[in-house]
Structures are given as structure tokens and as C-alpha cells.
Amino acid sequence: MADESDRDPAFAIEHLTKRYATVTAVADLCLEVPRNRLVAFLGPNGAGKSTTIGCLSGLIEPTTGTIRLLGEQFTGDSVELKRRIGVMPERLALFDHLTAGEFLTFNARMYGLDRATIRRRVDELIEVLDLSSALRRPLAEYSSGMRRKVAFAAAIIHRPDLLLLDEPFADLDPASAAMLKTWLRQFAATARTVFLTSHALETVERLCDEVAIIKAGRLVWHGSLSHLAAGIELASHGQRFHSLEALYLALVGEHGTRLEWL
Ligand SMILES: Nc1ncnc2c1ncn2[C@@H]1O[C@H](COP(=O)(O)OP(=O)(O)OP(=O)(O)O)[C@@H](O)[C@H]1O
Ligand SMILES: [Mg+2]
């Protein structure tokens, strides 16, 4: 990469706060993610994960705080920097009247890929994602899993340096999810970074190198999963944890489990 140091993190979020009218979705979040890693961003519903991903991708404007991305300061106007990111947002803004081929071609053109490359990648993605039978149908008619596959394809088509995926495994059938995991490993193995949200802790435990956990907009833990086999020690709990689920529940807290009337 030109003149940037590989030691620069993939991104560094510094004191990020996002307030909506009555809600503080992200509260003074600091998080640094190194390159060449698969990192999961976990937390309860409403914890602020999608809001953070929105800020990292330039779709949401932070209230305060800064983001350094791939060695540069990131703002909503960072056009060149945005070309180096691939985003799969939580709510898919697909153009419903387009077919998958048209939508992917449109995205690839925006990223400035040449015609031959666009053609090749679009055809290949449609084929491997098993969308060929839907090729002539508009996205409005796609199932939710099919829509998510198209959104994933749109996020990777320009071979970005940083991939931001908001719940990439939601709605995917097991074979598609397995394929996605293989691709994500391949992606991170070539010096690029994947930052994904998920509620599937077993998948995250098998797939990811690191985990960051937030609760109510605040970071509660960030660390490597490589120590999980030996047990991850939480000083605050005076205990070792041997599974991501046990660690997560200790940090985030279990909900009450009984409904007396049920
Ligand atoms: N556009 C918005 N306007 C007002 N409040 C919002 C908006 N978007 C998110 N919020 C609030 O911000 C908080 C964080 O939401 P966010 O979508 O970031 O959570 P999340 O961690 O992605 O949750 P989930 O796991 O359910 O996807 C929630 O309280 C949510 O209601
Ligand atoms: Mg979300």
C-alpha cells in the first residue's frame, strides 16, 4: 500500500458518541482494530453496534468523537477512503426494481471498476451465490436470505481493504453461511480486515480472531479469542472462561429466565 504503514490500525474510534433525540446510542466509545484480523462486535439488542457501523461507513454522522480509518482521518466527505471500505448495512437499501445483476453492476461502476472486471465478478458472484435462477427477477421479489447475499456481494465486489458487515449470517442457509465463512477467512488472510456484528456466538468463536463487546453504547471488553482454550480470565469476576458464550454472559449479564404466567 502506497505510503501508509501496515502498523496503522484498520481503524481507531476515539471517544465516539452518537445521540439521537432521546437516546444515547453510543457513549464515548474508544476501539482500535488492527489489520489482518476478523473481529466481531457483539452486544445486546440496542447496544449501539449498528450505529457504530453506520459511523464507520459514513452513513451516520457522529455527535462527537473521531475515526481514523486505514491511516487517515475519516469524515462523511472522505470519498477516496469510502472506496476502500465495503459495507453490508443492517437495513438493506437495495433498489427494488433492479435485478441482482443490475444492482451489482451499478455498485461496481460506482467504485470505478472497468467493464470486463465488472462483468466477470458479477457473473461469478451470481453463480456462486446460487442466484442464477433469479437473474431476471427484481430484488423486490427476493427472499430475505437472497437479499442479504446480494448485499454481501455488493460489499465485496470492489475488493475493499476493510469490510464492515452488520449481521452477515442472518437469514443465510447453512451452506451459504459456510461459504461466507470461507470467504471471510480468505479475506482476512490477505492483509485485510473484517469487522462484523453477530449474535451467533458459536460462529464467532470458531471464525473470529478478536471480539469487542458493547453494552448500552459502552465498550465492556475487547480481546483476542486465541486464549479461549486456556481460559480467558476476567479480573473483575475472579474467574476463567472457556467459551465465548460464558464470557459474554458474564460481561453482559443474563436476563431473567422465568415468565411465571407462561
Ligand atoms: N434513527 C434512530 N433514531 C432514534 N434512535 C435510534 C435510531 N437508530 C438507533 N436508535 C437507538 O439507538 C440505540 C442503538 O441502536 P443500534 O441499532 O445501534 O443497536 P444494535 O446494537 O445494532 O442492536 P441490534 O442487535 O438489535 O441490531 C437503540 O436504543 C435504538 O433505539
Ligand atoms: Mg443492529
Q: In this structure, which residue's CA is closest to atom 18 in ligand 1?
A: 48
In short, whether 46's Cβ falls inside 6 Å of ligand 1 is: yes
- pLDDT tens for 26-47 read 999 999 999 999 999 999 999 9
- pLDDT tens for 50-77 read 999 999 999 999 999 999 999 999 988 8
User: Average pLDDT of the chain?
Assistant: 92
- pLDDT tens for 173-187 read 999 999 999 999 999
Q: 13, 23, 24, 219: which to mutate for ligand 1, most atoms within 8 A of CB?
A: 23
In short, whether 45's Cβ falls inside 6 Å of ligand 1 is: yes
Contact 16, 52 (CB under 8 A): yes
Q: 51, 53, 57: which to mutate for ligand 1, most atoms within 8 A of CB?
A: 51
Global pTM reads 0.94
Residue 167 CA: nearest ligand 1 atom is 27
Specify the pLDDT at position 11: 97
pLDDT at 98 over 90: yes
In short, whether 50's Cβ falls inside 6 Å of ligand 1 is: yes
Residues with CB under 5 A from ligand 2 (ion): 49-50, 90
Domains of the chain with bracketed CATH: 11-84+160-252 (3.40.50.300)
> 56, 62, 45, 16: which is closest to 163 by C-alpha?
56
The secondary structure of the chain in percent helix, strand, coil, rounded to multiples of 5, reads 35, 25, 40
Element (H or E) spanning 173, and its range? none
Specify the pLDDT at position 93: 77
